[in-house]
A and B are shown apart, each in its own frame.
Chain A
Amino acid sequence: AQSVTQLDSHVSVSEGTPVLLRCNYSSSYSPSLFWYVQHPNKGLQLLLKYTSAATLVKGINGFEAEFKKSETSFHLTKPSAHMSDAAEYFCVVSLYSSASKIIFGSGTRLSIRP
């Protein structure tokens, strides 16, 4: 069975320092992987996605993620945090063609300290 685990429910970093949001997945096959961001009182917005092309994926707002099959990980990083990055981040795995097999992680709340 496929699953996705976001290892931290809350991450707090200082403005200007690196961001690391961790995501591990479980899948017997090569999945598609996504990161979405949700700002307060807003819908979910796609940050980036991996679909079996380059393992290092660049997204919007300076975020990127690296697909590591050996570690079954898809961690989200950003070199320098900005106050506007404060939000909830969701890691998502999609295995089959059926939309009901799209699994959302439980989310990581990112706080930015001035």
Chain B
Amino acid sequence: DAGVIQSPRHEVTEMGQEVTLRCKPISGHNSLFWYRQTMMRGLELLIYFNNNVPIDDSGMPEDRFSAKMPNASFSTLKIQPSEPRDSAVYFCASSPSHGLGNTIYFGEGSWLTVV
């Protein structure tokens, strides 16, 4: 199994630019998550999808952030315009379902630096 695949692994961009992070979940998994990790705030859930439908986006910081899941094998997290405070590691994760006790499988992360 290839695991959760994220791209790009590293991105450095200038403030004001659009950033698009991509994720391919594990085949057959129904739930997909986007997390953000920083030293100050730790690991935060931004949004999660179940069967391609956004279920909870209460963690999305503001309107500059948007996430889509057009099909079961692909999701994007977009930041427009980006700001230095968006610098963080963004993890995509997937799970067989959103049921109790199901393991969440994480990708390797996308390391974003906004200068």
What is A's interface to B at a CB cutoff of 8 Å? 32, 34, 36, 41-46, 49, 51-52, 90, 94-100, 102, 104, 106-107
Shortest distance between the CB of B102 and any CB in chain A (Å):
8
Do B101 and A99 have beta carbons less than 8 Å apart? no
Number of A-B contacts (CB under 8 A): 62
| Tier of interface size on chain B | 20 to 34
Interface of A is mostly: mixed
Do A99 and B43 have beta carbons less than 8 Å apart? no
Q: Which chain A residue shows the least CB distance to B50?
A: A99
Does B61 reach chain A (CB closer than 8 Å)?
A: no
Give the distance in Å from the alpha carbon of A106 to the alpha carbon of B41 in the complex: 9
Interface string of B15-49 (1 = CB under 8 A from A): 00000000000000001010000000011010010
Shortest distance between the CB of A56 and any CB in chain B (Å):
17
Interface of B is mostly: strand
What chain A residues lie within 8 Å of B91 (beta carbons)? 43-44
Q: Which chain A residue shows the least CB distance to B3?
A: A43
State which of A44, A46, A96, A100 has its C-beta within 8 Å of the C-beta of B48.
Answer: A100
Most buried by A among B31, B91, B101: B101
Shortest distance between the CB of A99 and any CB in chain B (Å):
5
What chain B residues lie within 8 Å of A99 (beta carbons)? 31, 33, 45, 48, 50, 55-56, 95, 98, 104
